Chain A
Amino acid sequence: EAGVTQFPSHSVIEKGQTVTLRCDPISGHDNLYWYRRVMGKEIKFLLHFVKESKQDESGMPNNRFLAERTGGTYSTLKVQPAELEDSGVYFCASSQDLLGELFFGEGSRLTVL
């Protein structure tokens, strides 16, 4: 069975540009989470989908970030326009149960120059 996959693995963009990150969760997992880790800091919660609905987006930094999960399958996280402080590793994770094991993707490393 395929695990959580994320694309791209690494993206380098200039300040002001747009980037879209994609996450394909494990099939059948209704819960999908986006997290971000800035170098040396915690894995910080961004938002949580249950199927196609945003359950909790309290961790989204500002309105430059937009997440979608059309049809309750894959999800995208768009950053527009990107700022320097958006650099970090963006992790997607999915789970079958609430507060059960999170299955992480390998992350998308975003570098904003």
Chain B
Amino acid sequence: GENVEQHPSTLSVQEGDSAVIKCTYSDSASNYFPWYKQELGKRPQLIIDIRSNVGEKKDQRIAVTLNKTAKHFSLHITETQPEDSAVYFCAAPSKKGYNKLIFGAGTRLAVHP
């Protein structure tokens, strides 16, 4: 079946370090790649997204890069803080129907003070 591969499944960093999470998708026609953050006990929320007409997008300490040739996209968090600790999910449109998103398995990020 179709899926979005997400790595790593867990990531532990020291406060102030950078964190990078990578996702790979299969459909070269995919054109929308969002990232969601789910804090403990809360709902997933969109933190950043990118469309295929650009290669990089930044919003303060977070950035997403897209490599269409290699069909992967990555989330970069710089100067990590304890409040960045959460589960992060990437997603891409389903190649079976572009009206739904297929999510990765999630990355549990722990930022240690």
- Please list the residues of chain A having a beta carbon within 8 angstroms of any beta carbon in chain B: 3-4, 31, 33, 35, 40-45, 48, 55-56, 58, 91, 98-99, 101-102, 104-107
Contact = CB atoms under 8 A, between A and B. Distances in A.
Nearest to A31: B99
B89 interface: yes
A104 B44 contact: yes
A48 B3 CA distance: 18
A99 B94 contact: no
B43 A42 contact: no
Given A40-B105, A101-B34, A104-B43, A56 B100 contact: yes
Given A35-B103, A40-B105, A56-B99, A99 B44 contact: no
A100 to B, nearest CB: 9
Contacts of B44: 43, 91, 102, 104
A35 B22 CA distance: 22
22 contacts: A3-B43, A31-B99, A35-B103, A40-B9, A42-B4, A42-B103, A43-B44, A43-B89, A45-B101, A45-B103, A48-B100, A56-B97, A56-B99, A91-B44, A98-B98, A99-B32, A99-B93, A99-B99, A102-B36, A104-B44, A105-B43, A106-B42
Contacts of B4: 42
Interface string B46-90: 100100000000000000000000000000000000000000010
Interface of B: 3-4, 6, 9, 32, 34, 36, 42-46, 49, 89, 93-94, 96-106
A97 to B, nearest CB: 10
Contacts of B46: 101-102
Given A99-B32, A101-B34, A42 B96 contact: no
A100 B59 CA distance: 18
